[in-house]
Structure 1
């Protein structure tokens, strides 16, 4: 059912996009992990790794805000990741009372292997697509980035 009279199929497109994003992400993660011979890392931990890779050292509180996660969730994720050698903690610079979390070399290597594997499996899948689909996919990343930014702006 349409939410607006002149949405030109936007409701159907939104529903389909919402339904496909999760399964697509899981399929890419699974295929890239297998291709890169990587251990199974939970999605939430991957999000933490990605954020730390982009931002560098961060407090658990800042991580939670950036990812929309509760403090206890971040604490549990960081503890598990520290046990697995993926993150390390240090006293926050300029504030010896709090801690910051950063990536270990192991995490950086695994992210690099994952990125290479994900690119490889996506290129293989995209190469088997029609020329029209390849043109659409070439633009999809930028479109999804703008859409995500709009969604994040709305959440603020």
Structure 2
């Protein structure tokens, strides 16, 4: 068994299974890119579009398109920079922060239920794998 191949084959279905929990809870179905931007803004505080693009490793034009759509939907707030009036700072709106909290509660509850259905050995294996998965993410993001 090739670990990389098997792990790669599981990532997509795992992610989609978690995303389905949002739909069953009647939460808005936002594209993953929008959710990633909202998470970044929620964690880092107000950022310039360039900072957001750098953190997410996206093209500035992609951030611009996301922000345009998300501002119209009331998910992102654009504030003039206090130091450079030619730029803006982006922040997640209170509505977006509430939505992220609802997503997290829903996903966490679904994962708790699923983990409870696993054998104790499987739960323990997943728990022990979490630091290695975090390290893998760091390595992948560095490449």
- After TM superposition, the score normalised by the length of structure 2 is 0.93
Q: Which runs of 5+ in 1 are unaligned?
A: 1-8
Q: Which residue is equivalent to 1:4?
A: none
- Structure 2: distance between partners of 1:83 and 1:139: 42
Query: RMSD of the TM alignment (CA)?
Result: 1.3
8 Å contact from structure 2 (residues 49, 89) kept in 1: yes
- Structure 2: distance between partners of 1:80 and 1:96: 22
Does residue 102 of structure 1 match 2:94?
A: no
Does residue 124 of structure 1 match 2:113?
A: yes
Q: Which residue is equivalent to 2:128?
A: 139
- Structure 1: distance between partners of 2:32 and 2:120: 32
8 Å contact from structure 2 (residues 23, 29) kept in 1: no
Instruction: Pick one of 78, 82, 93 that aligns with 2:82.
Output: 93
Per-residue CA shift, 1:34-60, capped at 9, x if unaligned?
343211100110110111111111111
Task: Compare 48-57 and 133-142 and name the one that shifted more.
Answer: 133-142
Larger radius of gyration: 1
Q: Which residue is equivalent to 2:12?
A: 22
Per-residue CA shift, 1:98-144, capped at 9, x if unaligned?
01110100001001111111110000001001111100121233221
- After TM superposition, the score normalised by the length of structure 1 is 0.86
- Structure 1: distance between partners of 2:18 and 2:82: 37
Q: Which runs of 4+ in 1 moved over 4 A?
A: none
Q: Which residue is equivalent to 1:6?
A: none
Q: Which runs of 5+ in 2 are unaligned?
A: none
